[in-house]
Amino acid sequence: MTDFDALLRALAAADVRFIVVGGAAATAHGAARLTVDLDIVYERSRENIRRLVAALSDSQPYLRGAPPGLPFRLDEETVQRGLNFTLTCTLGDIDLLGEIAGGGGYADLLPHSIVLKPFGTECRCLGLSRLIQVKRAAGRPKDFDAIAELEALEQERDEPGKQI
Amino acid sequence: MNLMSRDPLPPITPDPVIEYYKKDIDRTLLRENLKLTVTERFEKLMALQRFAEEMRRAGCRARQQQ
């Protein structure tokens, strides 16, 4: 199980600049679909990468689905040389994304993000309209159902008296 | 709390494929979720994860006993 509370706290405590995207963002907006990991788009500056690595260092991050024993270490150099990392750690599954298809990087998504406070932790989350556009741009058939739910959510949310 | 993005996007053009999928969405679940706080939505998700994991384990145990 992914401990969203602990992961978000760890990232926020280290002052990591990131935006929650994907299924966790959909959950934040009210989607009912099950998601098992936390997807974040992180800012690619050297300082932020240092913070990101520090935030996750205690939770033993490792490549998700990879056989055990590979010489993988999530350090600054690894993140600088790569872009997107699909990881599992003691707090659950987390995807570190330097960019997302149809959405770009942190700076591109920032104007389309909103500030939320789940579990008392302030974090940025991709806005619902942009989340829909990004999923549409990815064009994956497996996302059709999720996009339909997000669009229905947007319609329901626009009704008076609803949160977010 | 700042709930609005700074850069509003134009309305999304309906896609016939997505509209087809939308017919099967259970809007009662969405309406219930919209009554919750963001924290409550994540707590609900984690409870669902625990339930799914327990069901998976139960399935494994049942197959081993067969």
DSSP letter string, B4-61: S-SSPPPPPPP-HHHHHHHTT--HHHHHHHHTS-HHHHHHHHHHHHHHHHHHHHHHHH
Q: Would you say residue B38 lies in a domain?
A: yes
**How close does chain B come to A41, measured CA to CA in Å?**
16
Q: Is the ipTM of this complex over 0.85?
A: yes
Instruction: Supply the pLDDT for residue A140.
Output: 86
Nearest residue in chain B measured CA to CA from A108: B7
Q: Would you say residue B42 lies in a domain?
A: yes
Q: pLDDT for A64-92, tens place per residue?
A: 999 999 999 999 999 999 999 999 999 99
Residue B16 with chain A: CB contacts under 8 Å: none
DSSP summary character for residue A53: H
Angle at B42 between CA A100 and CA A145, to 5 degrees: 55
- Quick one: pLDDT band at residue B2, thresholds 50, 70, 90? very low
Q: Would you say residue B43 lies in a domain?
A: yes
Q: Would you say residue B46 lies in a domain?
A: yes
Residue A123 φ/ψ, nearest 5 degrees: -150, 160
Residue B49 with chain A: CB contacts under 8 Å: 1-2, 34, 36
Q: pLDDT for A130-155, tens place per residue?
A: 999 999 988 888 899 999 999 999 99
Token pair listed for A112: 């389309």
Name which of A91, A116, A121, A132 to mutate to probe chain B: the one with the most chain B Cβ atoms within 10 A of its Cβ.
A116
Q: Would you say residue B11 lies in a domain?
A: no
- Domain assignment of residue B33, given as a range: 28-65
Amino acid symbol at B34? L
CATH 3.30.460.40 for the A4-157 domain, yes or no: yes
Q: Domain coordinates of chain A in residue numbers?
A: 4-157
Tally the domains of chain B: 1
Q: Would you say residue B34 lies in a domain?
A: yes
Note which residues in 74-133 of chain A have CB less than 8 A from chain B: 111-120, 127, 129-130, 132-133
Q: Would you say residue B3 lies in a domain?
A: no
Instruction: Supply the pLDDT for residue A159.
Output: 67
The predicted model scores a pTM of: 0.91
Name which of A151, A154, A158 to mutate to probe chain B: the one with the most chain B Cβ atoms within 10 A of its Cβ.
A151
Instruction: Supply the pLDDT for residue B8.
Output: 62
